């Protein structure tokens, strides 16, 4: 009897652990940020003014990241959560976009000019989202991010209150250009890391275009760039988290920046960026992220993802140029 128990109990634990891993290894679905903003406004009795959609989208994205199936996993170090790395990498991709938008809202969207005073609530929220993503020792990560959400909520309340004109959201072309510049760098980096899944010999173009440019230390004229086999799925899921968050922010900004986009005749170009990013979230019909050769027998999911991200990034570069025109 004891021998049977010694076999049955560990077996049951392994099966239970496997079932929990399967259940928690889940990416949340895309939601409608404009509809959520309207629901949020009705619940909290907010007026629908410029900036409420973007701010609400930021709040909702953080809310989903923290409270999705299984909760926030990046700082969980007990079985079975410690064995899950896809979702924590997805969370880091989401968090990167959250941090970037929170910083842009603090420095640009809420300020009329460089000499204006920063918003007090956004100046509190921004650093809280830059808290370590994997800390479980108090103060734990979730508590810091939830506190950041509280400050965003305070900003949103003031933003919709006509009696508090010191809270503003400036939907201007130059502010959108600033955010797009940051998004462009993030997507460019992800595209390079995804493309390096098969390894590439690349020419060093670090100083191209400026004959007087220098750098700290010398680097080879040619180098092999390759993402480690152990990091391929990490980069893939980080990219999916990043694009998931971006889709919601873009859909919200389409409403807040509607006049700017229509004046520049850029609405269709803006929507095409969203369309390209949505393709990155197609279901993965494989038990793992495959890393076949470029034209080999097996698929290379990283290269497919890099293709969609590169196309979205190229559209962003074109849209930035269009927005910068007078």
- State the DSSP string of 275-304: HHHHHTTS---SSS--B--TTSSS-BHHHH
Among residues 152, 168, 184, which one ends one of the domains?
168
Q: Which domain holds residue 319?
A: 171-200+224-326
Task: Tell me, yes or no, whether 90 and 152 share the same domain.
Answer: yes
> How far is the C-alpha of 213 from the C-alpha of 176, rounded, in Å?
29
Residues 164 and 175 in one domain: no
- 272 and 141 within one domain: no
Position 24 in a domain:
no
In this structure, are 96 and 62 located in the same domain? yes
Q: Tell me the CA end-to-end span of the chain in Å, nearest whole number.
A: 83
Q: Do 48 and 196 share a structural domain?
A: no
> Are the beta carbons of 238 and 87 closer than 8 angstroms?
no
Query: CA dihedral in degrees (30, 32, 34, 36; nearest 10)?
Result: -90
Give ∠ CA 20-23-26 in degrees, rounded to 5.
135
Task: Note whether 87 and 158 are same-domain residues.
Answer: yes
CA distance 319 to 267: 10
Residue 26 lies in a domain: no
**71 domain residue, yes or no:** yes
- Per the CB < 8 A criterion, the answer to whether 53 and 37 are in contact is yes
In this structure, are 178 and 288 located in the same domain?
yes
Q: Express each pLDDT in 51-64 by its tens digit.
A: 999 999 999 999 99
Residues 179 and 51 in one domain: no
Distance (Å, whole) CA 227 – CA 120: 41
Would you state the structure tokens that stand for residue 261, as one six-digit string? Answer: 């986009």
Give domain status of residue 2, yes or no. no
Residue 207 lies in a domain: no
Q: Specify if 210 maps to a domain.
A: no
Domain boundary among 126, 149, 168: 168
Specify whether 144 is located in the same domain as 94: yes
- pTM for the model: 0.89
Q: Quick one: 142 and 275 in the same domain?
A: no
The answer to whether 85 and 233 are in contact (CB under 8 A) is: yes
Q: Of 168, 183, 210, which closes a domain?
A: 168
Same-domain pairing of 158 and 176: no
The per-residue pLDDT for 105 is 97
Predicted confidence (pLDDT) at residue 21 exceeds the cutoff of 60 = no
Q: Locate 268 and state its tokens.
A: 């269709």
Whether the pLDDT of residue 19 is over 60: the answer is no
pLDDT in tens, 190-235: 999 998 877 666 666 666 666 667 787 777 766 556 666 667 889 9
Residues 100 and 190 in one domain: no
Domain contains 10 = no
* Average pLDDT estimate for 124-147: 92
> Over the stretch 69-112, which tens digit does the pLDDT of each residue have?
888 988 877 666 566 778 999 999 999 999 999 999 999 999 98
**How many domains does the structure of the chain reveal?**
2
Residue 214 lies in a domain: no
pLDDT at 16: 55
Q: What is the largest CA-CA distance in the chain?
A: 83
DSSP alpha helix (H) spans, the chain: 2-24, 33-44, 52-67, 86-104, 120-129, 141-159, 173-195, 232-256, 258-263, 267-279, 301-324
Q: CA gyration radius for the chain?
A: 22
CA dihedral 232, 234, 235, 241 (to 10 degrees): 150
Do 112 and 175 form a contact (C-beta atoms < 8 A)?
A: no
In the chain, % of residues over pLDDT 90: 56
CA 7 to chain centre: 44
């Amino acid at each position: 009897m004891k021998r049977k128990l010694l076999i049955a109990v560990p077996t049951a634990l392994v099966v239970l652990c496997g079932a929990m891993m399967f259940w928690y290894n889940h990416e949340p679905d895309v939601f409608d940020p404009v509809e959520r903003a309207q629901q949020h406004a009705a619940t909290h009795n907010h007026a629908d003014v410029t900036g409420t959609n973007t701010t609400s989208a930021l709040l909702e994205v953080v809310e989903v990241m923290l409270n999705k199936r299984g909760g926030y996993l990046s700082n969980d170090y007990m079985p079975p959560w410690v064995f899950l790395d896809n979702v924590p990498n997805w969370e880091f991709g989401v968090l990167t976009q959250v941090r970037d938008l929170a910083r842009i809202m603090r420095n640009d969207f809420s300020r009329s000019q460089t000499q204006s005073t920063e918003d007090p609530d956004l100046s509190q929220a921004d650093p809280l989202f830059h808290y370590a993503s994997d800390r479980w020792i108090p103060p734990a990560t979730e508590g810091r991010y939830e506190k950041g959400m509280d400050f965003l909520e305070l900003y949103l309340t003031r933003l919709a209150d006509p009696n508090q004109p010191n809270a503003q959201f400036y939907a201007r072309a130059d502010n959108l250009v600033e955010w797009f510049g940051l998004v462009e760098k993030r997507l460019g980096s992800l595209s390079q890391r995804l493309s390096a899944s098969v390894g590439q010999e690349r020419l060093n173009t670090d100083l191209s275009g400026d004959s007087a440019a220098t750098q700290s230390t010398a680097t080879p004229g040619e180098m092999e760039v390759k993402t480690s086999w152990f990091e391929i799925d990490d980069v893939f899921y980080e990219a999916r988290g990043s694009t998931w968050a971006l889709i919601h922010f873009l859909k919200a900004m389409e409403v807040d920046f509607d006049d700017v986009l229509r004046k520049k005749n850029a609405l269709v170009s803006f929507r095409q960026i969203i369309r390209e990013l949505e393709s990155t979230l197609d279901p993965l019909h494989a038990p793992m992220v495959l890393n076949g050769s470029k034209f080999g027998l097996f698929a290379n999911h990283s290269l497919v993802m890099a293709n969609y991200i590169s196309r979205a990034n190229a559209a962003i570069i074109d849209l930035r140029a269009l927005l910068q025109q007078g």
